[in-house]
Structure 1
Amino acid sequence: MGDGVLTKVIFFSWFFIQVLLSRNSSLETQIRRETEAAIRHLRSEAGACSCSRNAANECRECLLRGVTERLRDAGYNSAVCNSKWTTSSSIPKAGEHTYIDVVEAADGTKGPVRVVIEVCFRAEFEMARASEEYRRLVYRLPEVFVGKPEKLRGVIKTVCAAAKKCMEDNKMHMAPWRKSKYMQAKWLTPCEREPPRAALSPTEAAFSANRHRKPQASMLTFDLLDKLPGLHWPAVRVL
């Protein structure tokens, strides 16, 4: 495939993705607003990680649970979802994934409405050996995806089709976990929704908040530290 053809493929892929992402229901818009506000809030409070691992960077598990709890506080039926799939004829590699969803009752006779939330959406499509055209396409994807399953399926198919053409043009093999069926399995296969966690007692909440607080030094501490190098302590023999 020539460079001109490949450029057209990327252009039309991005055009179609833009059309998909621009079509939002009022529910999707409200949930996106709450999700982005929750992420900003969590990251502004000394990082999103509050688990015992005390990760230097934000912990995905803590970020997912933090966003989920904030969405519940806002009145949404939100949960952390754990999907797991096995090898099949259409999915040559088993795997598992964790993300968030919101399930809301619909008006009238329609069934419940499901909205999928992926807090690291762009990163899911990044490839180390991707072509420059594909990199530009992925860079334009939203960092956080909030949308209904049919919208997500359309975006996945379009990005994966562009990835396949880019890899073929560069005579490179496309790994099975980069293909459309595998990527769809992450968010669109049956999942297990985690139940809400029990609320922390006031003592537990205070302990969790203080556990990651950085220690502060007083002026007395600095004054003492300045004088320590000049102090000479006599040796004491321990009997």
Structure 2
Amino acid sequence: MGTTSISRVARYLPVGFRRELSRKKLQQFADNNLIDVEFEFLDDSDVNLGDSSSSSDDFPLDIEDEDDDDESSQKVHAGTSNIEENRNFWDNQLQLLQTNVYKISAVEFSIRNATQEAIEEIDRSEIECSCSRQIMGSSARECRNCFMRQVSRCLQNAGFNSSICNTKWTSSHNLPSGEHTFLDVIHSTSKEKSDVRVIIELNFRSQFEMGKASEDYNNLVRKLPEMYVGKVERLRNIIKIMCMVAKRCLKENKMHIGPWRKQKYMQAKWLGPCKRNTSTNSLSMGYSQTISSKQKVKASMLTVDLLDKIPNIHCTAVEVV
């Protein structure tokens, strides 16, 4: 690895950083970073979304069509029945995961802070749920639709090009149909560079939790952020790592690997073609807050126009039962 910098800050990482960390030092590194995370800033031009366009609401991102059996992975880890080699596998994946989690650019950092401030503002305001799934007394924090809409609205007010994204895919070979909703921000850098797309998943860690997982797998899940705010390439790497260890965990426990646990399905959630909705009006979610609380008198369609246009005419409005 070389020198990474932003503005006047420079950080040097040794070339043998990955190999030199022992298991004990690696665990100590992880524990310290959980308490006080030290982000390694990257230049925004290092990683960008070259296949996205700000002029279109659709992002037809390519999804890796990998063999579910992953023969190459089996060859690499063919001898992992040995305890030491098995331990090395989990340690290496932990290190790779932490590298992708803690590396963050200035753009990602600013959007992450703005998102966190938006969540804190929503918690303080105690906004109630106002969508079509409204539950009496429930807050917007408890409703996923309202929560995403409020966060997107706060980000837009802060000057970010935020939207609510919906991915939807049909079933194919070993891939059941499904859909997913999340947030994103399109950051325009300059005319010479492509726009940067930042994915925001408010419930990221829960997407990888399993009921009967091993302690090694749960240890990696705990390293995931509760809320993911980052670029597409970083998310792609995290998905690949987590799906690999999930497959390893289930095979060790001799459990069936559900199609929703596989890499292709997880990538479809955030990296598949999506529709962006920049509107934060609750009407787009199935309910409108602008509807007046005063209900008009329900009348027959035969007389409703006459009542509005000829108010002095003597006619009776028939109430609809």
Tell me the secondary structure at the aligned position of residue 194 of structure 2. Answer: coil
2:187 maps to a residue whose letter is: E
Which deviations, in whole Å up to 9, do the C-alpha atoms of 1:106-162 show, x marking residues without a partner? 314222110000000000001112122211211121000000100000000001101
Q: Distance in 1 between matches of 2:251 and 2:230?
A: 30
TM-score by length of 2: 0.58
User: Counterparts of 1:35-74 in structure 2 under 5 Å?
Assistant: 35-46=115-126, 49-51=129-131, 52-54=134-136, 55=138, 58-74=142-158
Confirm or deny that 1:18 pairs with 2:98: yes
Give percent identity, aligned residues only. 43
Which deviations, in whole Å up to 9, do the C-alpha atoms of 1:141-189 show, x marking residues without a partner? 1000000100000000001101111111111111000111100100001
Unpaired runs of at least 5, structure 2: 1-80, 284-288, 294-321
Q: Distance in 2 between matches of 1:33 and 1:19?
A: 20
Closer, same or farther in 2 for the Cα pair 1:48/1:111, shift >3 Å?
Answer: farther
Match of 1:121 among 180, 188, 204: 204
Match of 2:278 among 181, 195, 199: 195
Closer, same or farther in 2 for the Cα pair 1:41/1:197, shift >3 Å?
Answer: closer
Aligned Cα root-mean-square deviation (Å): 2.4
Which deviations, in whole Å up to 9, do the C-alpha atoms of 1:188-232 show, x marking residues without a partner? 0111111323599xxx68x99xxxxxxxxxxxxxxxxxxxxxxxx
What's 1:137 paired with? 220
Closer, same or farther in 2 for the Cα pair 1:40/1:164, shift >3 Å?
Answer: same
Runs of 4+ in 1 over 4 A off after TM superposition: none
Once the two structures are TM-superposed, the CA of residue 43 in structure 1 deviates from its matched residue by: 2.2
What's 1:231 paired with? none
What's 1:215 paired with? none
Q: Distance in 2 between matches of 1:36 and 1:9?
A: 34
Match of 2:112 among 25, 28, 32: 32
Tell me the secondary structure at the aligned position of residue 24 of structure 1. Answer: strand
What's 2:176 paired with? 93
Closer, same or farther in 2 for the Cα pair 1:48/1:188, shift >3 Å?
Answer: farther
Q: Is the 8 A contact 1:6 1:165 kept in 2?
A: no
2:229 maps to a residue whose letter is: V
Q: Distance in 2 between matches of 1:113 and 1:182?
A: 24
Closer, same or farther in 2 for the Cα pair 1:53/1:132, shift >3 Å?
Answer: same
Tell me the secondary structure at the aligned position of residue 197 of structure 1. Answer: coil
Closer, same or farther in 2 for the Cα pair 1:48/1:15, shift >3 Å?
Answer: farther
Q: Is the 8 A contact 1:167 1:173 kept in 2?
A: yes
Q: Is the 8 A contact 1:6 1:166 kept in 2?
A: no
What's 1:169 paired with? 252
Q: Distance in 2 between matches of 1:21 and 1:133?
A: 18
What's 1:156 paired with? 239
What's 1:109 paired with? 192
TM-score by length of 1: 0.77
2:210 maps to a residue whose letter is: M
Q: Distance in 1 between matches of 2:107 and 2:85?
A: 38
Greater share of helix: 1
Q: Is the 8 A contact 2:122 2:150 kept in 1?
A: yes
1:22 maps to a residue whose letter is: Y
